[in-house]
Structure 1
Amino acid sequence: MFQRFEWMIAWRYLRARRSEGGISVMTWISLLGIALAVFALIATLAVRSGFRYEFVDTIVGANPHLTVYSYGETLPDGRQTGTIADYAAMTERLAAVENVTHAAPVVVGQVMATANGRNAGLEVIGIRPEDLAAIPRIATPENAEGSLDAFEGGIALGWHAARDLGVGAGDTVRLISPDGVRTAFGTSPRIKAYPVTYVFQVGRYDIDKIRAYMPLAEAQSYFNRPEVADAIHVTIADPEATDAAAGPLMQAAGPDAYLWTWQQSAGGFLRALEMEDNIMFVILSILVLIATLNITSGLVMLVKNKGRDIGILRTMGLSEGTILRVFFLCGASIGVVGTAIGVVLGCLFAIYIDPIFSFVNYVAGGGVWDPSIRYISALPARLEVGDVVSAVALSLALSFAVTIFPARRAARMNPVEALRYE
Structure 2
Amino acid sequence: MSYEWFISLRYLRAKRKQTFISVISFISIAGVTLGVAALILVQAVMTGFTDGVRQQILGNVPHVLIQRYGEGIDNPRELVNAARQLPHVISATPFVSREAMLLAGGNVAAVSVKGVDEDHKILAQSLRTWEGNQINQLFFDSEDRPGIIIGMDTATTLGVDVGGLVNVIPPLFNVTPFGMMPKMKPFRVVAVFDKQSSLIDSFYAYIPLPEAQVFFESEGVVSGIEIEVDLFERAPAVADQLSGQFAFPTVVRPWQSLYGSFLSALKLEKLGLFIVLAIIVLVAAFNIATTLIMVVMEKTRDIAILRAMGANARSIMKIFLFEGLIIGTMGTLLGTGLGVALAHYADALIKGVEGMFGIQIFDQSVYGMERFPSEIVVVEVIAVVVMAMTISLLATIYPAWRASRMDPAEALRYD
Q: Aligning the two structures, in what range does the TM-score lie when normalised by the shorter sequence?
A: 0.7 to 0.9
Alignment CA distance shift 1:98-1:346 (3 Å): closer
What pairs up with 1:397-412 in 2 under 5 angstroms? 397-412=390-405
Partner in structure 1 of residue 339 of structure 2: 346
The alpha-carbon deviation at position 356 of structure 1 amounts to: 2.3
2:17 — aligned with what?
Answer: 19
Q: Which amino acid aligns with 2:7?
A: I
Q: Which residue of 2 aligns with 1:177?
A: 169
User: Following TM superposition, by how much is the alpha carbon of 1:325 offset from its aligned partner in structure 2, in angstroms?
Assistant: 1.6
User: For structure 1, which runs of at least 5 residues remain unmatched after alignment?
Assistant: 72-79
Give the match for residue 159 of structure 1: 152
Kept in 1, the 8 Å contact 2:31–2:280? The answer is: no
Contact 1:106 1:230 in 2 (8 A): yes
Relative to structure 1, is the Cα distance of residues 119 and 356 closer, same or farther in structure 2, using a 3 angstrom cutoff? farther
- Change in CA separation of 1:20 and 1:249 when aligned onto 2, cut-off 3 Å: closer
* One-letter amino acid matched to 1:335: G
Q: Is the 8 A contact 2:100 2:171 kept in 1?
A: no
1:238 deviation in Å?
4.9
Deviation of 1:354 (Å): 1.5
1:131 paired with 2:112, answer no
Equivalent residue, structure 1, for 2:135: 148
TM-score (norm 2): 0.85
CA contact (8 A) 1:148 1:198 kept: no
Give the Cα separation in 1 of the matches to 2:9 and 2:371. 46
Does the 8 Å contact 1:40/1:284 carry over to 2? yes
Structure 2 unaligned segments of length 5 or more: list them: none
- The question of whether the paired residues in 1 share the 8 Å contact of 2:152 and 2:192 is answered with no
**How is 1:256-405 mapped onto 2 (pairs within 5 angstroms)?**
256-362=249-355, 363=357, 365-366=359-360, 368-369=362-363, 379-405=372-398
Q: Indicate the residue corresponding to 2:410 in structure 1.
A: 417
Larger deviation, residues 377-386 vs 39-48: 377-386
Q: Structure 1 224/376 Cα, relative in aligned 2: closer, same or farther at 3 Å?
A: farther
How far the C-alpha of 1:254 sits from its partner, in A, is 6.6
CA distance in structure 1 between the partners assigned to 2:343 and 2:279 by the alignment: 22
Given the superposition, is the C-alpha separation of residues 416 and 98 from structure 1 closer, same or farther in structure 2, using an over 3 Å criterion?
closer
> Once the 2 structures are TM-superposed, how far is the Cα of residue 90 of structure 1 from its aligned partner?
4.1
| Residue deviations 1:101-121 (CA, integer Å, cap 9, x gap) | 322110112233345665433
CA distance in 2, matches of 1:281, 1:243: 27
Partner of 2:37: 39
Range with bigger deviation, 292-301 or 244-253: 244-253
Show the counterpart of 1:77: none
Give 2:28's aligned residue: 30
Taking the aligned partners of 1:121 and 1:318, their CA distance within structure 2 comes to 82
Match of 2:66 among 59, 68, 72: 68
The answer to whether the 8 Å contact 1:204/1:377 transfers is no
Match of 1:10 in 2: 8
Identity of aligned residues (%): 32
Map residues 243-254 of structure 1 onto 2, 5 A cutoff. 243-246=236-239, 248-250=241-243
Change (3 A) 1:96 1:415: closer
Distance in 2 separating the partners of 1:155 and 1:379: 33
Deviation at 1:40, TM superposition (A): 1.1
The equivalent position to 1:121 in structure 2, one of 110, 117, 120, is 110
Residue 54 of structure 1: aligned partner: 52
SS in 1 for 2:96: strand
- The one-letter amino acid of 2:97's match is V
- Tell whether 2:232 aligns with 1:232: no
Provide the C-alpha distance between the structure 1 equivalents of 2:240 and 2:393, rounded to a whole number of angstroms: 50
